[in-house]
């Protein structure tokens, strides 16, 4: 897919400069909007998809539709994590199964090896506190650029502590030193589509559909100091395929988690 960066219809000079900087940052061509509708830029065969940037928003124009980036429930989960850190007791209905399974500690370095829209990364960054950080790996260059630019425009402190890297997770993990992260998370694409938050149809369209393989899991265990966490949809076929036993979960849960310690 040929991706290019452009702006809103009537950008300010600062927005043009910002979009050009984003294009350089991601190694993408910049297309001046010049008052043209987005479909016209695509019809001219200048790009297959467009990353449309303004001061406040990052949108992806693909398959004739414009999708504005949003962390969706990730923003709510982030706020809940920040409230817990501030000493506000959580409501019983506000359980976060990911955080319960991850057992994040202050200052943790976390690798989200399947970044997607960044909702889990944002939640984990909040939970890890001001000295923690999250490295988000995303195989789709379009998704990586879209989420990175969306996070840059999200004016909350945890978003500043997320670093997005584009590339295959196995290769990126292989380049990381031994024991360089506390936790590595995998949330592979589920085998069967479920009802998902807005924007997830774009993720399913662009993301790497390959299942998690043993080689990638081994690299994650080499990198992790504490453990590797794998998320799966019910009934947990991929956890079983990888030889992982689901952690205890609430009755009727739609998501299961398996956990592995680091390599000896």
Give the pLDDT confidence of 72-117 residue by residue, as tens digits: 899 999 999 999 999 998 887 888 999 999 999 999 999 999 999 9
**Better pLDDT: 7 or 255:** 7
Do 61 and 86 fall into the same domain? no
Average pLDDT, stretch 171-175? 97
Do 23 and 81 fall into the same domain? no
Is the pLDDT score of 18 beyond 90? yes
Range of the domain at 56: 3-68
At 199, is the pLDDT very low, low, confident or very high (cuts 50, 70, 90)? low
Do 197 and 78 fall into the same domain? yes
Do 125 and 25 fall into the same domain? no
Cα 111 from Cα 97, distance rounded (Å):
18
Question: Whose structure tokens read 């994650």?
Answer: 220
Q: In the chain, which ranges are E strands?
A: 3-7, 49-53, 58-62, 65-68, 109-112, 133-138, 162-166, 181-186, 224-233, 255-260
Asked if residue 146 lies in contact with residue 1, where contact means CB atoms within 8 angstroms, the answer is: no
Angle at 128 between CA 125 and CA 129, to 5 degrees: 95
Q: Which of 20, 39, 68 is the last residue of a domain?
A: 68
Is the pLDDT score of 190 beyond 80? no
Do 112 and 44 fall into the same domain? no
Question: Whose structure tokens read 């019983």?
Answer: 92
Asked if residue 22 lies in contact with residue 14, where contact means CB atoms within 8 angstroms, the answer is: no
Is the pLDDT score of 224 beyond 50? yes
CA distances from 140 to 3, 66, 144, 174, 202 (A): 11, 18, 6, 18, 11
Do 26 and 128 fall into the same domain? no
At 192, is the pLDDT very low, low, confident or very high (cuts 50, 70, 90)? very low
Q: Which of 68, 89, 122 is the last residue of a domain?
A: 68
Do 88 and 173 fall into the same domain? yes
- Helices 73-85, 119-128: axis angle to 10 degrees equals 10
Mean pLDDT for the chain overall: 91
Domain count along the chain: 2
Do 20 and 141 fall into the same domain? no
Nearest one of 127, 124, 97, 93 to 248, comparing CA atoms = 97
Do 98 and 228 fall into the same domain? yes
Asked if residue 22 lies in contact with residue 15, where contact means CB atoms within 8 angstroms, the answer is: no
Q: Peptide bond before 167: cis, by omega within 30 degrees of 0?
A: no
Do 61 and 185 fall into the same domain? no
At 195, is the pLDDT very low, low, confident or very high (cuts 50, 70, 90)? very low
CATH code for position 79: 3.40.50.150
pLDDT tens profile 19-76: 999 999 999 999 999 888 999 888 877 788 999 999 999 999 999 999 999 988 999 9
Do 64 and 86 fall into the same domain? no
pTM for the model: 0.93
Q: How many residues does the chain have?
A: 264
Q: Which of 49, 68, 87 is the last residue of a domain?
A: 68
CATH code for position 48: 3.40.50.10480
Do 49 and 123 fall into the same domain? no
CA distances from 115 to 19, 166, 197 (A): 22, 10, 15
């Amino acid at each position: 897919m040929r991706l290019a960066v452009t702006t809103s219809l009537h950008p300010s000079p600062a927005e043009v400069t910002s979009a050009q900087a984003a294009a350089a940052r991601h190694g993408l061509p910049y297309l001046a909007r010049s008052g043209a509708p987005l479909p016209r830029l695509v019809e001219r065969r200048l790009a297959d998809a467009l990353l449309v940037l303004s001061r406040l928003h990052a949108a992806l124009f693909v398959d004739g539709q414009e999708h504005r980036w949003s962390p969706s429930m990730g923003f709510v989960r982030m706020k809940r994590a920040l409230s817990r850190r501030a000493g506000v007791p959580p409501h019983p209905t506000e359980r976060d199964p990911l955080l319960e399974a991850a057992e994040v500690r202050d200052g943790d370095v976390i690798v989200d090896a399947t970044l997607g829209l960044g909702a889990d990364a944002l939640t984990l960054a909040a939970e890890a506190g001001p000295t923690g950080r999250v490295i988000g790996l995303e195989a789709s260059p379009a998704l990586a650029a879209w989420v990175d630019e969306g996070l840059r425009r999200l004016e909350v402190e945890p978003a500043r502590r997320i670093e997005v890297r584009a590339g295959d997770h196995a290769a990126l993990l292989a380049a990381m030193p031994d024991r360089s992260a506390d936790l590595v998370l995998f949330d592979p694409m589920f085998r069967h589509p479920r009802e998902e938050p807005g924007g997830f149809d774009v993720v399913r369209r662009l993301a790497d559909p390959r299942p998690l393989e043993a080689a990638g899991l081994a690299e994650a265990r080499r990198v992790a100091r504490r453990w590797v966490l794998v998320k799966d949809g019910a009934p947990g076929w991929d956890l079983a395929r990888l030889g992982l036993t689901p952690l205890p979960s609430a009755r009727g849960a739609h998501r299961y988690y398996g956990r592995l310690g680091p390599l000896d």
